[in-house]
Amino acid sequence: MALTLEARTAPTSVTGGSRLESVDLLRGLVMVLMALDHVRDFFTNATYDPLDLEKTHPALFLTRYITHFCAPVFMFLAGTGAFLSTTRGKTKRELAWFLLTRGLWLALLEVTYVRCLGWEFNFDFHRVGAAVLWAIGWSMVVLSGLVFLPVWAVTAFGVGMIALHNASDGIQPESWGAFGWLWIILHKGGPFSPAPGFTFIAAYPLIPWIGVMAAGYGLGPVLLKEPESRRKWMLGLGITLTLLFVIIRGTNVYGNPRPWGPQNNDLFTVFSFIDCHKYPPSLLYVLMTLGPALILLSFLDRGTPRMLRPFLVFGRVPLFYYLLHLPLIHGLAVAAAWIRYGRAEWLFNNPFVNQAILIPADNGFGLPVVYLIWIGLVLALYPACRWFAELKRRRHDAWLSYL
């Protein structure tokens, strides 16, 4: 049944001390989608890459593909949120200090709490991976310096990095000599050895994530416009980015390391077209995700339907949600393994490492079970997130802004 006007929260102009619900709502939606990807990581019975067109099936491909929107949308909105915080009383100097300290805090959380209590359930630091919080953290550190520039300059920096970074795809770490590790962290991605016996894995290279956050900062002034005007801007930007994706991707000339091509059927040819490189995110990956996200944001800005209001809770406490969901998913996977097999030693290591000898042949579940676990997980997290969101609304202690 169509939602009536009364079933929506009316959109508002952004004024001092106010939040823009549509931004929180979109952030909440992608946080919930992110949990689907992580539940799939731990519970699927598929032993191959869901995007491998030689092995996958449509439902599995789309389950993985839809979660591609999570990281770029969250990174982009983090930049937007940084700008909007200046409308709630933060000076540029205060914003810079907050971005610097919170960025370093997130990077530290990635290689400690998230590594030990989220992905791996061990404290063996001979192998450390750096993923999304690492990239968000260092992007905030860079943005802490950029905020002193005019908004147009920050935007140009971000857009330029996104548009041009694929031109450096051919550069290899070896060409950096003793600083090859730095190029791996910045752009190439992958493992390197900082010391004998130790491995650092740059799962999320910082370029162009830094640019995505800077570009998000540039959206801030658009959101200060009157509701009807900002919706037109967001819709226009979203359509433009989406059309750019289709046109550039169609040429197969630039913007993604892997070309697309005809497959066994039309559907898989479409899959080939939309399957863009994430590690690091290519220009086309960013266009493909942020274009539709901005279109959706323009519609969400018309008011929050009652049925979507729970997602606002997750969007207002994203880090708290993130830090809870990984240990919970991992813990559930351990419990399921113990019930089925009486052992779960492979789940005390990174789930992405090939451990075929340890993992039972029938480990994991099909997609219907994966989806049920995901829904149950989100429902289980809601009360805690709602409590914390209410706590942040009532109190303004400085430490709360770091969670």
Which two structure tokens, joined as six digits, stand for 25?
């709502």
Mean pLDDT of the chain: 92
pLDDT tens, position by position, 336-369: 999 999 999 899 976 656 566 678 889 999 999 9
**Are 146 and 154 contacting, i.e. CB atoms less than 8 angstroms apart?**
yes
pLDDT given at position 3? 36
**pLDDT tens, residue by residue, 78-117:** 999 999 998 888 899 999 999 999 999 999 999 999 999 9
Span 187-225, pLDDT tens digits? 999 999 999 999 999 999 999 999 999 999 999 999 999
Nearest of 328, 329, 360 to residue 344 by alpha carbon: 360
- Is residue 133 within 8 A of residue 170, CB to CB? The reply is no
- Contact in structure between 138 and 146 (CB atoms under 8 Å): no
pTM above 0.75, yes or no: yes
Higher pLDDT, residue 148 or 395:
148
Beta bridge partners, 365, equal 44
Instruction: List Cα–Cα distances, 111 to 20, 44, 130, in angstroms.
Output: 32, 25, 6
- Please give the structure tokens belonging to residue 196: 């004998």
DSSP, residue by residue, 307-374: GGHHHHHHHHSHHHHHHHHHHHHHHHHHHHHHHHHS--GGGGS-TTS--TTTS-TT-SB-HHHHHHHH
Q: How confident is the model at residue 19 (pLDDT cuts 50, 70, 90)?
A: low
Please report the pLDDT score of residue 82 as a whole number.
95
Please state the three-class secondary structure of 22-87 as a single string.
HHHHHHHHHHHHHHHHHHHHHHECCCCCCCCCCCCCHHHHHHHHHHHHHHHHHHHHHHHHHHHHHH
Q: Ranked by mean pLDDT, which of 340-349, 368-377, 393-402 comes out on top?
A: 368-377
Residue 224 vs residues 15, 97, 216: alpha-carbon distances, Å: 8, 23, 14
Q: What's the confidence (pLDDT) of residue 9?
A: 53
Q: Is the pLDDT of residue 16 over 90?
A: no
Q: What percent of the chain has pLDDT over 70?
A: 93
Max alpha carbon distance in the chain (Å)?
Answer: 64
